[in-house]
Amino acid sequence: MNSSRKKIKTWGLTGIFAASAAIPVVLISRYVLFRNSSSINNQNSESDNSQFITPKLKSSISLSGTIDKIYDSQKATVTNTLVAQEIHNNLDQVFENSQDLQKVNNLKIAVEGDFTNSSSWSGVDYEGDNGWKGLTKGNVILYSSKFGQLNISSLNDLKTQLDNDAKIKEIIREFDSSKLNQNAIYSIQNKPAVTNDNLLHVNVIAILGSNTKYFDLQIPTSSINLNISNMSISVSGNNVKPLTSAVASFNYNVSLAPKSYFMNPASTPVASASEVTNANKILVKLGLAEVTTRNQIVLTQKAIQEQLGIYNVEFSNASIAPSGTTTNGKSGLYQISLQATPIANGDFVWDDGQNTVRTITFEVWVNVGEITPTVNSTLNITGPFSKIFAANTGTGNNRVRTNDVIADDIKSNLSKYFSNGNDLKTVENLNIRVEGNFPETSVWTGEPYEVWSKTTRFKGIYSSSSQKINITSLNDLKTKLNSIGLGKFLLDSNLLFRDASFTILNQLGFTGGDLIHVNILVNSPYTQGTFTVDVGIPTSDINLIISNLKIASFGDNVTLQSVPVNFTYNIGINDSVDFIKPTTGVTPLSDANKNNVNEALVSLGFATRNIDSNPGTYTLNPDKISAALGVFNCTFEGISIKDVSNGSSRSFTISLIATPNNNYYWEDGTNTSKELSFTVNLTAS
């Protein structure tokens, strides 16, 4: 969350709410009170017992403020002392007779919150030579406002609440489910830290087998509520009847910090003279807003919160104006204003205890002039097959040109292709042209898939253990298959025909968005006549590699550019389950095994029991599972089975963990495990 740009304030060993060895409680003894009372005739400032003020403590105390009011980042003051000072500063919210106490000279307040002297937070610091911060790059998790506030009695209590595998998984899943590995065990380790009084950093560790992954769980301080059910409060002062160890419930709502920590980006946004007067367009150029398919601009709340360092609010109504000596419409410094509203139903408040709208401002430098598109020198993109080949729009030579399909993907994902892609997102009439020297005429001729697929004798799917196929076009795919050798290609697809000859026929077929079908004629000496087979190639087994892809971009306020670039497009794994129950090899699932997910996989023919070695374990067949689910190039692990039977039908929902094989990725570019489910009837037949 860009915390590397911010000043770090590290928690002490005893944590945020640690007690000191000696609490600075100043009590006035009854003896002293008596002496003060007996000398009233000689000291005009003294009064008799009838004029002494008796503090009337409220039974419940609720305060709010920034975290520095109860935590000293320099460790010079402990929480007891800071809370006492907060009470002193907010007498009207603590005492029924606060007006009387406000007149007291030398009023002294001390508290005891029963904060432990020892900390359950141990290990290494956040920063420093051996700090855990460096282990978490790219693995940042922000605690969601959806969960509301964490009510804690101490920092130790916070760790107790967070150090729970299920709780951590819930937090990660809400932020970004692609970062969650359901099989891993998550826990809290090492010491926490605070940055800029607005973020608490907690080290989360995920362990899966021998692998360890480190995360930086960032909790906005405004998501913390200090809640003490039995705070002990003592009061003394001139003309005050001592109040000793009175008990009240104490709640301190750590408030939203209205201060912006925005820093100008390394790459200065470029705008036209008209764009610089439009705050939303400048926010797009800063990566703080997005343009929808309907050409509307929507603020990106998470990005704004991160960049400004103001969390648990909703931003809206952006405006912009020149700052200082800048002339409107010219290059210079501009001030952007946003309205920030605390998120409803979360008990989030500003430092004055209010939850009303506030205006947040920050300044940014904007260059006014023409935009020069800057294509990334090397493009290594991962995405779905449909973003480079038009599988479902026309057949044969009538399909949409690959150049045009790639151009559309570039325009939809400018930030992936251009280093200044955000500047281009607001350009009126932006045009992208691509030239990859793709053949105009297809070598895949003959019958369409819908026709030839009805007459094939055998079917197979290219095995997950086989090599990826690098191509420069779909025409090149035919060349590569012939180069590999069609016999080997069929063998890699679990189809063996001895002493046969092979020929590729007809047009390619495309199904499910993730299978390319190739029709092959088999001429075998062991059969009468010839026959054909249908071999499915998972699209994720294909990489499109173009060494000299030319990308041209032009539009209003854009300098025409035509740039050659090395282009690699890794077709990702489609995680959509399209389950087809096998027609052979399925056996009934017994009542004794209906809660055993691996036995269900055995019944489906997807797994075998290990008898000779490691009895009680199972070996799963990824190719058979992939063929049934339509999710390819993964390893699988059964995690659960649920009986969803209805009447005589015995149906089960089976859940698996799917993990991409080495050098394979999901369509979103990630390669972490995902949970997949399907429902199947396992009635005895």
Question: What is the pLDDT averaged over residues 413-419?
Answer: 94
Residues 497 and 422 in one domain: yes
Q: Is residue 582 part of a domain?
A: no
Structural domain count of the chain? 5
**Percent of the chain beyond pLDDT 70?**
89
Residues 219 and 298 in one domain: no
Q: Which residues contact 325 (CB under 8 A, 6 or more apart)?
A: 332
Q: Is residue 510 part of a domain?
A: yes
Q: Which of 148, 654, 567 is nearest to 380 (CA)?
A: 567
Q: What is the pLDDT of residue 71?
A: 78
Residues 79 and 204 in one domain: no
Q: Is residue 538 part of a domain?
A: yes
What is the SS3 string spanning 506-531? Answer: EEEEEECCCEEEEEEEEECCCCCCEE
Residue 27 has pLDDT above 50, yes or no: no
Q: What is the pLDDT of residue 674?
A: 87
Q: What is the pLDDT of residue 23?
A: 31
Residues 176 and 237 in one domain: no
Structural domain containing residue 355: 270-368
Q: Which of 378, 389, 376 is nearest to 542 (CA)?
A: 389
Residues 444 and 567 in one domain: yes
Q: Which of 272, 348, 257, 271 is nearest to 305 (CA)?
A: 257
Q: How far apart are CA 302 and CA 376, in angstroms?
A: 26
To 5 degrees, how large is the angle CA 202–CA 303–CA 264?
Answer: 100
Is-contact 312 306, C-beta < 8 A?
A: no
Q: Is residue 261 part of a domain?
A: no
Residues 142 and 87 in one domain: no
From 545, 572, 599, give the residue that closes a domain. Answer: 572
To 5 degrees, how large is the angle CA 348–CA 2–CA 214?
Answer: 95
From 517, 538, 572, give the residue that closes a domain. Answer: 572
pLDDT, tens only, 89-99 = 999 999 999 99
Residues 46 and 88 in one domain: yes
pLDDT, tens only, 658-668 = 999 999 999 99
Q: How far apart are CA 337 and CA 318, in angstroms?
A: 6
Residues 449 and 538 in one domain: yes
Residues 247 and 299 in one domain: no
- Structure confidence at residue 567 as a pLDDT band (50, 70, 90): very high
Residue 352: alpha-carbon gap to chain centroid: 32
Q: Which residues contact 375 (CB under 8 A, 6 or more apart)?
A: 417, 418, 419, 551, 561, 563, 565
Q: How far apart are CA 111 and CA 95, in angstroms?
A: 14
Q: What is the pLDDT of residue 24?
A: 33
Q: Is residue 578 part of a domain?
A: no
Q: How far apart are CA 359 and CA 335, in angstroms?
A: 12
pLDDT, greater one: 11 or 506: 506
- Structure confidence at residue 559 as a pLDDT band (50, 70, 90): confident
Is-contact 425 298, C-beta < 8 A?
A: no
Q: Which of 167, 219, 180 is nearest to 1 (CA)?
A: 219
Mean pLDDT of all residues belonging to the chain: 88
Is-contact 452 506, C-beta < 8 A?
A: yes
Question: What is the pLDDT averaged over residues 279-286?
Answer: 98
User: If phi over 0 gives left and psi between -120 and 50 gives alpha, with beta otherwise, what is residue 632?
Assistant: beta
pLDDT, tens only, 58-83 = 999 999 998 888 876 556 568 888 99
Residues 285 and 300 in one domain: yes
Residues 44 and 112 in one domain: yes
Q: What is the pLDDT of residue 561?
A: 80
pLDDT, tens only, 627-657 = 999 999 999 999 899 999 887 778 999 999 9
Q: Is residue 583 part of a domain?
A: no
Residue 526 has pLDDT above 90, yes or no: no
Q: How many CA atoms lie within 13 A of 119 on its CB side?
A: 18
**Percent of the chain beyond pLDDT 90?**
71
- From 106-120, 139-153, 465-479, 595-609, the region with the lowest mean pLDDT: 106-120
From 368, 402, 437, give the residue that closes a domain. Answer: 368
Question: What is the pLDDT averaged over residues 513-521?
Answer: 95
Q: Is residue 586 part of a domain?
A: no
To 5 degrees, how large is the angle CA 83–CA 88–CA 93?
Answer: 90
Is-contact 658 636, C-beta < 8 A?
A: yes
Residue 21 has pLDDT above 90, yes or no: no
pLDDT, tens only, 374-404 = 999 889 999 999 999 987 544 445 568 899 9
Residues 526 and 478 in one domain: yes
Q: Is residue 585 part of a domain?
A: no
Question: What is the pLDDT averaged over residues 319-341?
Answer: 97
Residue 2 has pLDDT above 60, yes or no: no
